[in-house]
Amino acid sequence: MSAPSATATAEQPTGSPRYVDLEVGHELPELVVRITRKDLVRYAGASGDFNTIHWSDRVARDVGLPGVIAHGMLTMAQAARVVTDWAGDPVSITEFSVRFAKPVLVPDDDVGAEVVFGGRVAALLDDNVVRVDLTATCAGERVLSGARAFLRLS
């Protein structure tokens, strides 16, 4: 599936990172993604996840949410883009995990929700493996916690 049609901006890498050139603390380019209700409809069709909380304010509120929320897997996939855009090769990811700290609320308008993703090299491990800790915030609130990726680089 291609990325949502939402506006996404990131610095483009000048080349794939090499393990020997990295240091702990190296910051990955930030990725800003705007997710709209239209994107949620597209993602539901592609993923088969038609849970009503992703399109009906009434149902979302009936179950205790403040309104329609983005699919967790959509948010997770966008976080993975930070790493794959930087590394230049999605196959380099050997492990990827997140915990959802807070849902991404998507207002019913053309503005949608802006989610800011980032990452930094947290550890240089054996066998050219790099651990990247990821961040994701929406409206100033952290939406992912414990998000990290392990990559094997050249």
Between 5-19, 33-47, 92-106, 140-154, the lowest mean confidence (pLDDT) is in: 5-19
pLDDT, one tens digit per residue, over 61-113 is 999 999 999 999 999 999 999 999 999 989 999 999 999 999 999 997 788 99
Please name which of 97, 94, 117 lies closest in space to residue 8, comparing C-alpha atoms: 117
Which two structure tokens, joined as six digits, stand for 76?
């997770």
Domains of the chain: 23-35+70-152 (3.10.129.10)
The model carries a pTM of 0.87
Lowest mean per-residue pLDDT among 10-19, 36-45, 78-87, 110-119: 10-19
The residue-averaged pLDDT of 2-18 equals: 58
Q: Where are the beta strands (DSSP E) in 17-64?
A: 31-35
Confidence at residue 47, expressed as pLDDT on a 0 to 100 scale: 96
Which tokens belong to 109? 């308008």
Closest CA to 138 of 120, 119, 116, 118: 116
What is the per-residue pLDDT for 16? Answer: 86
- Please count the helices (runs of H) and the strands (runs of E) in the chain: 3, 7
Per-residue model confidence (pLDDT) at position 7: 53
C-alpha–C-alpha distance, residues 68 and 142, integer Å: 18
Alpha carbons 129 and 103: distance in angstroms, whole number = 31
